[in-house]
Amino acid sequence: QLEGDRRQNLVDELLTRHKQLEASYRNEGPEPDMTRSSLMAGGAKRGITNPWLLEESEETRGLGFDELRQQQRRIIEEQDAGLDALSSIISRQKQMGQEIGNELDEQNEIIDDLTNLVESTDDRLRNQTRHVKMVDKKLESCG
């Protein structure tokens, strides 16, 4: 769109210059010699600069509208391919993150089960220790 606008501006400027040259040729308007020299100077003496002319890259210079459109489509296709690759990578990382989360959940369950077993064993050990102490006291009292 920008390239089309730029080229339309160029055509409009050329038409305006053409009309000015014709008017100058017929000696219409003020100071025809001044107008001719400013027209032939390419706008530099008039102080008019076209920013579109300064920004055109080597890649697009001399390309027609259809060629520019094809180049733009090619660039968009390349960007789409890059985005597809990035999407694939992000999907894989998401899958890996979910798998890591699942593994952590399983490990936490194992740790919880182990904690319960250790607490149960600790309780049984205390009970047995008390029982041994009672048996030891009875032994001392009996004999």
pLDDT bucket at 45, cuts 50 / 70 / 90? very low
Q: By the 8 A CB rule, do 65 and 3 touch? A: yes
The ranges assigned to domains in the chain are 1-26+65-142
d(CA 90, CA 92): 5
Could you tell me the pTM of the whole model?
0.44
Mean residue pLDDT across the chain: 82
Distance separating alpha carbons of residues 134 and 19, to the nearest angstrom = 122
User: What pLDDT score was predicted for residue 74?
Assistant: 93
Structure-model confidence comparison of residues 41 and 23, the more confident one: 23
pLDDT value, residue 80: 96
User: For residues 43 and 50, is the Cβ–Cβ distance under 8 A?
Assistant: yes
Task: State the Cα–Cα distance between residues 70 and 64, nearest whole angstrom.
Answer: 10
Q: Report residue 45: phi and psi, to 5°.
A: -75, -25
Q: Which tens digits make up the pLDDT trace of 48-102?
A: 555 444 566 777 777 777 888 899 999 999 999 999 999 999 999 999 999 999 9
pLDDT at residue 67, rounded to an integer: 86
**Cα(78)–Cα(99) distance, rounded to whole angstroms?**
32
